[in-house]
Amino acid sequence: MERSRIAFRPMKMADLPMIMEVERASFPTPWPKEAFVNELLHSPFAHYTVVTVDGEIAGYCGMWIVVDEAHITNIAIHPKYRGKKLGQATLAYMKRLARLLGADKMTLEVRVSNHVAQHVYRKLGFEAKGIRPRYYSDNQEDALIMWVTLDEDDGEHTVESNQNTGTGD
C-alpha cells in the first residue's frame, strides 16, 4: 500500500465549499459559511489550517492566538478520512504553529460525550480543567474545557505550509 502525502497549509477562501462539506458531515450544528468568511477575512486573531491527503482536503483546524494563549475554535476531519490519526496529526501541527506564534498554552472545548476526541487530546497532553454548562446549543450538552502547556519542543520543528508527515497509520 502506498503512503499518502499529508500536508498542512493555510485555509483559503477557495477551500470553503469543501470545508462546508466537512462541517456538515462532522457536526449536528455546522458553522455557517459566513462564520468562516469572517474568520478568514476579518479576525486578526484567527489562524485556520487545512489538512490535505494526496492534495484533497481531508479536514481543517482553526485557532485564535490572543496574547500567549491559543484557543482551538474548531477541528474536523471528514468521515472518510477518520481512523487514520489525521486529527491527532492536525492538532500536533497546530500546537507547533501556536508555539511559533508566541503562545505558551492552548485550550479547547469538547463535548463531554465525545470520548474519542478526549482520548486524542489527552494523548497530546491536554488535561481537563473545567466544565462549560450547556455549551452546545443543539442539545445543551456540557463542554469539557481542556488545557495544555506548549513545550519549547512544540515549536522546534519548522512549520511549513506543505509539510509532509506520512500517514500515521
Tens of pLDDT, residues 2-28: 678 999 999 999 999 999 999 999 998
Determine the 3-state secondary structure of 61 from DSSP.
strand
Determine, yes or no, domain membership for 160.
Answer: no
Length of the chain: 169
pLDDT digits (tens, 9 = 90+) for 77-125: 999 999 999 999 999 999 999 999 999 999 999 999 999 999 999 999 9
H helix or E strand, kind and range, residue 92: helix 86-100
Q: Is residue 169 part of a domain?
A: no
Query: How far does CA 18 lie from the centroid of its chain?
Result: 16
Distances (CA, A) of 8 to 32, 48, 97: 23, 10, 11
Q: Give, in order, the Cα–Cα distances in Å from 70 to each of 1, 84, 148.
A: 37, 25, 10
Give residue 159's pLDDT.
47
User: Which residues have a Cβ under 8 Å from the Cβ of 2 and sit 6 or more positions away?
Assistant: none
Give the domain extent around 142: 6-154
Distance CA 144, CA 121 (A): 11
Catalytic annotation, residues? 109, 121
Q: What's the start-to-end Cα distance of the chain, in Å?
A: 11
Is residue 66 one of the residues assigned to a domain? Answer: yes
On whether residue 162 sits in a domain, the answer given is no
Establish if 159 belongs to a structural domain: no
Domain count for the chain: 1
State the CATH number of the domain containing residue 66.
Answer: 3.40.630.30
